[in-house]
Structure 1
Amino acid sequence: MDIYGASTFRVAAVDLNGQMRGKRVPASYATKLEGGAVRMPLSVLNVDIMGADIEDSPLVFETGDADGILRPTNRGAMPLPWLDSVQPLVPMMMYLDDGTPFYGDPRHALKIVLERYHARGWQVIASTELEFTLVDDAGKRPRHVRDPRSGRRVVASEILSLSQMDTFDPFLSALYDGCAAMGIEAQTTTSEAGVGQFEITLNHQDALRAADDTWFFKSLIRGLANKFGMAATFMAKPFPGDSGNGMHMHFSVLDAEGANIFNDGGPRGTDALRHAVAGCLKALRPSTLIMAPHANSFERMVPGAHAPTAISWAYENRTAAIRIPGGAPAARRIEHRVAGGDINPYLTFAVILGAALTGIEDGVEPPAPITGSAYDQDLPQLSEDWATAINDFEASAQMKRIFDPRLIRNLVMTKRQELEHMSQLPVENHWKVYLEKV
């Protein structure tokens, strides 16, 4: 494996909170990775957002806190453009000693869902739109970012403003260069409704690579922002009263001949599209925990504040949780608009695509698509708060059709531990936990 002549490099797998967990290893390990040269405790992928072990974790008392084996994904070594030294990253996945995938690895969870599509001769094509906020974190609390040219603080939102992009052009240009170096296909950038907020769209591609790119992209943005004297955050709600950060996922499904199974030649879409929508709608409440995984996440889930909270779908309607965009029928797709920017991409992709497939498998019909604003209608809602979201996720039969029951157990224990910890912190201090982690 080419590690760019570096004397050391990094290996990392993804934990349940979307954090990179791994090691720095010598260059000599490059030829040993496939053979399982790097081992870590299985419990490392099940620590809480603060990085602490889960109390009474089954991974400890069932396995004696056994090691798992890290093996590389097919991505190979990637440069990390925000570092001053040459320090590549090799993305990894966790396996048990007998070679079976570790059930607590979120990337494995997504692969299992995608294998169910592959068994039908289908390929999922997906992309994400990611919102993030640039923040001045130099003081005792985060403040709105300063204009790099004038030094004055940015005080107003600039929706689709080109001058706002001019203001931060050195950072955004470095971001595109970083994406190119890492093999991330970044598309459009827009200035969004929040102060210092931007959205970048990643390319439509195979769903597993799209999830990978979303994971890498979040680290790239945070790392580069630090090089430019700022912080970049995907916190769902960085500032009270300001626009929150979301992640919209688009997906379509191709059959063995490369035809889009959602395309009926017109604007409505096929039965398969409607069944997939129905599956996604059914999963919205029990999957709230995946879409809003942290205490701060629920600050964004306010009706009328650009975050869909009602269980609904529609054609070309951005107030609905599930939107069917217009455009050419051959590109017919589903846009899932609920998730915050603070999610774990692998779990989010897995639950959305798993829910869509359960709808197709069951042949479920959705209710009629809404018209008008979803905020003004009496519609069923997502889980109302974090504790309820944990309970709804744990109790859901549909979630058990998507995730290994042991992953569900691990995630529930993780989130209950975090809930207890965060309940003891003043809300105004939550940012200290989340700002540059999520």
Structure 2
Amino acid sequence: MHNWLRKNPNVRTIRVAAADLNGVPRGKRIPTRFADKITQDGTRFPFSVLNLDIWGEDIEDSPLVFDSGDRDGVLKPTERGFMPMPWLESPSGLLPIWMFHDDGRPYAGDPRHALRAVLDRFKARGLTPVCAVELEFFLIDDSGRKLQIPPSERSGKRRKGAETLSIRALDQFDQFFTDLYDACEEMDIPADTAISEAGLGQFEINMMHCDDALRAADDAWLFKMLVRGLARRHGFAASFMAKPYEDYAGSGLHTHFSVLDTDGNNVFDNGGPEGTDMMRHAVAGCMEAMAGSALIFAPHANSFDRMVPGSHAPTGVSWAYENRTSSIRIPSGAHTARRIEHRVSGGDVNPYLMLAAVLGAAINGIEDGKEPPAPITGNAYAADLPQIPNTWQTAIDAFAQDAAVARIFAPELIENLVLTKRQELHYMAELSPAEQAEIYLDTV
């Protein structure tokens, strides 16, 4: 039996889970005594399972279903290994898995493999991305007909106002955050600073930077699973929905990244505030792919409610030094930590696809030696800029035909995601915003 299970004899069941294209965990519950078979041989389920819509339904015109006989892939453990599931009442183990063909080839429609393929392009040039993500989410009382902030675990009162960087707001849910940090320790998720944000019951937790982008994506995916599950143990919901409240800012998932060479030097650092040619090439690549990748950064019907002018979410394609209205920001600070902040994604993204899109665009620009336009100054919302798609339909169409996207993602993944989103677009149109929110609250 696996060492982790040996050290945790109270664990009676395990879950094996892979991320589908929406980032939803798909897998099986297995008694611990059969764990050896999983770790040695993997498990099997259809390729189509990583390509379900947000309701968990098959994609009606997918080539993965009837056209190909709904064939199985084999799913093997990732290098992450077993970990606890602190949000469940009974002691349980989670084993992340990813999908392969029977002959050992990675399945190109698996979002984790999409990120691995991008990282292989960096590796071929002797480069290693260093990533950190900032995850925003809402704590929500969804027990009534209207979503609202939960009552404080300490006072029992509801504080119905934005509390940006408020210690009091954090302290209202002190037990939840204490349990959350303890759980992150157990799961080896490097959660760092927590702050309250501008939305109603909105918080942000930053991850420590990591020189393994696959692990950084794992951490974000697992963290989202943990936060949602742990909140339910505390009697309320947690959601990474892009925009649960019409009158408050939405949730983003900002990404910071730099790139190291084989000697461990930051290739974006020129000793000053400007950054290097390679940093600008990466910026140019990110800008070129931004409109085509909008479907990755805003994957759901609700995502586009966040992306409106003046809402702290970018709407135009731009870059700037120390400017949070731009879609790409070069933060100030020590030159040795020179990095790019990509600010477009909502909290509802699939972290694997998001990091693949961001880093894939950056390596496109580095490979091409592209130069970006001049950085903007002032308010990006007031500038005449190329626009990021502002509807789901235009984002789907742009993703389907964008040349930069085609360099980042495998054709099969592009086709699968486009078919998935067109099906969701069709059926979401039949639902009210409240009904849509009910679907998204616990899934994204």
TM-score, length-scaled by structure 1: 0.98
SS of 2:428's partner is helix
Q: Distance in 2 between matches of 1:130 and 1:322?
A: 17
Residues 396-438 of structure 1: per-residue CA shift (max 9 Å, x gap): 0111100000100000000000000100111232111100110
One-letter amino acid of the counterpart of residue 418, structure 1: E
Contact 2:153/2:175 (8 A) holds in 1:
no
Q: Distance in 1 between matches of 2:159 and 2:112?
A: 38
What is the deviation of 1:33? 2.4
Residues 358-382 of structure 1: per-residue CA shift (max 9 Å, x gap): 0011111000000001011111110
Map of 1:103 onto structure 2? 108
Aligned partner of 2:28 among 23, 26, 36: 23
What is the deviation of 1:37? 4.0
Aligned partner of 2:286 among 270, 280, 283: 280
What is the deviation of 1:61? 3.8
Map of 1:14 onto structure 2? 19
Alignment of 1:286-435 (within 5 A): 286-435=292-441
Contact 1:262/1:333 (8 A) holds in 2:
yes
What is the deviation of 1:199? 0.5
Residues 23-50 of structure 1: per-residue CA shift (max 9 Å, x gap): 0112233222243341111100000001
Q: Distance in 2 between matches of 1:361 and 1:107?
A: 22
Q: Distance in 2 between matches of 1:404 and 1:267?
A: 36
Q: Distance in 2 between matches of 1:290 and 1:305?
A: 20
Map of 1:164 onto structure 2? 169
SS of 2:99's partner is strand
Map of 1:258 onto structure 2? 264
Task: Tell me the number of residue pairs that the alignment of Structure 1 and Structure 2 aligns.
Answer: 438
One-letter amino acid of the counterpart of residue 246, structure 2: P
Contact 1:10/1:88 (8 A) holds in 2:
yes
Q: Distance in 2 between matches of 1:150 and 1:213?
A: 32
Q: Does 2:200 align with 1:183? A: no
Higher mean C-alpha deviation, range 134-143 or range 415-424: 134-143
Q: Distance in 1 between matches of 2:12 and 2:246?
A: 45
Q: Distance in 1 between matches of 2:209 and 2:146?
A: 37
**Identical-pair percentage:** 58
Contact 1:236/1:244 (8 A) holds in 2:
yes
TM-score, length-scaled by structure 2: 0.97
Aligned partner of 1:114 among 97, 119, 122: 119
SS of 2:279's partner is helix
Contact 2:155/2:172 (8 A) holds in 1:
no
Q: Does 2:208 align with 1:203? A: yes
SS of 1:143's partner is coil
Residues 115-147 of structure 1: per-residue CA shift (max 9 Å, x gap): 111111111110100100000011123222222
Q: Distance in 2 between matches of 1:268 and 1:56?
A: 49
One-letter amino acid of the counterpart of residue 106, structure 1: P
Q: Distance in 1 between matches of 2:330 and 2:219?
A: 23
Map of 2:228 onto structure 1? 222
Residues 79-100 of structure 1: per-residue CA shift (max 9 Å, x gap): 0111111111000001111111
Map of 1:84 onto structure 2? 89
Residues 103-126 of structure 1: per-residue CA shift (max 9 Å, x gap): 110000000000111111111110
Identify unmatched segments of 5+ residues in structure 1.
none
Contact 1:144/1:196 (8 A) holds in 2:
yes
Contact 1:134/1:230 (8 A) holds in 2:
yes
What is the deviation of 1:62? 4.4
What is the deviation of 1:148? 2.1
Aligned partner of 2:145 among 140, 145, 158: 140
SS of 2:443's partner is coil
SS of 1:435's partner is helix
Q: Distance in 2 between matches of 1:236 and 1:401?
A: 27
One-letter amino acid of the counterpart of residue 141, structure 2: D
SS of 1:32's partner is helix
Identify unmatched segments of 5+ residues in structure 2.
none
SS of 2:84's partner is coil
Higher mean C-alpha deviation, range 425-434 or range 83-92: 425-434
Map of 1:436 onto structure 2? 442
One-letter amino acid of the counterpart of residue 237, structure 2: A
One-letter amino acid of the counterpart of residue 422, structure 1: M
Q: Does 2:74 align with 1:69? A: yes
Contact 1:94/1:102 (8 A) holds in 2:
yes
Contact 1:80/1:88 (8 A) holds in 2:
yes
Residues 244-279 of structure 1: per-residue CA shift (max 9 Å, x gap): 000000001110000001011110000000000000
